[in-house]
Amino acid sequence: MSTWVVWNPACRHHYAGAGHPERPQRFEAVLEALRRPELAALVEWVEAPPPPPPPPPLATREAIGRVHPAAYIDLLAAMDARGGGSLDADTFLGPRSWESVLASAGVAVAAVEQALRGGGRARAFAVTRPPGHHALAERAMGFCFLNNVVIAARHAQSLGCARVLIADWDVHHGNGTQALVERDPSIRFVSMHQYPWYPGTGAADERGVGNVFNIPRPGGLSRATYARDFLAGVDAALKDWQPDALLISAGFDSLAGDPLGEFTLEPDDIADWTAALRERIGSRPIVGVLEGGYRLDLLAAGCSALVRALS
């Protein structure tokens, strides 16, 4: 079974400045890796509809508006109209960034639609850029403007998936995702992340309404420890509860050698626990949503391992 890889060329336009780790080359590295001949039989390419000119149309605002209030969307659109600007110390809206932000959210939504259209057994990977799991309802931070994975989760719910599991293996805690779902028992959130590390959230006792399963770990542990603990967190979330869909916040800064993390994982670990997730989820749809990963060769290898395992 092949994996739908959903992308939009507009995701390459976001530019946060010279030397910024979230750079357009990340997008190109992922596409190049997934277009290699050895993956040709495992990938079905889907180009998401292009982002519209501003302001976003009602349909786009509806999908984003399930997560972010209109005033925040208008703030970003107005900043874009002025040519961009800084939203925090490391999150910058460049001259064409808003186009990429909208495209990224659109790719996540299109990946959900593609997976659900696949008869309940489809797997999809959304090549989203910029990433999203740090974005709060009304605040951009940590390279993130809109929370792509929560937008995708809410869209899946609007299409009939009442319960959604979000699993996040980015080396940084998905604080935005947690904040957006922690009062809603219809979504469960599992996050394994380096702790204490940016953004300083994600302690084990942050449980929401019993739907948050944080796995804070220091850097430098063995690969086997991280893999075991991540799947144990997933198993805890799945105890006496079955989701209608699984969304993965797939951050590859958790791989050994990434400049922004200190985990020791290898691409084989990504493949192994993705296969384990497939076993646990069974016939339900799975959608991966790209988050971090800042060393290009590791990012490429991690994405390839994920897509192979999904397929």
**Residues tagged active-site:** 134
Is 81 in contact with 75 (CB distance < 8 Å)? no
Q: Is 256 exposed, middle or buried (0-12, 13-18, 19+ CB in 10 A)?
A: middle
Tell me the backbone φ, ψ of residue 301, rounded to 5 degrees: -65, -40
The torsion region of residue 282 among left (phi > 0), alpha (psi -120 to 50) and beta comes to: left
Ordered alpha helix ranges (H), 42-158: 58-65, 70-81, 97-117, 148-158
Is 243 in contact with 188 (CB distance < 8 Å)? yes
At 272, list the tokens: 């192994």
Tokens 């989701």, located at residue:
243
Task: Report d(CA 284, CA 281) in Å as an integer.
Answer: 6
E strand segments, the chain: 3-7, 43-47, 85-88, 91-93, 123-126, 164-168, 187-194, 212-217, 245-250, 286-290
User: Could you tell me how many helices (H) and strands (E) the chain has, helices first?
Assistant: 9, 10
CA angle 288, 57, 103 (to 5 degrees): 30
Task: Report d(CA 14, CA 11) in Å as an integer.
Answer: 7
Is 148 in contact with 127 (CB distance < 8 Å)? no
Task: Report d(CA 169, CA 147) in Å as an integer.
Answer: 16
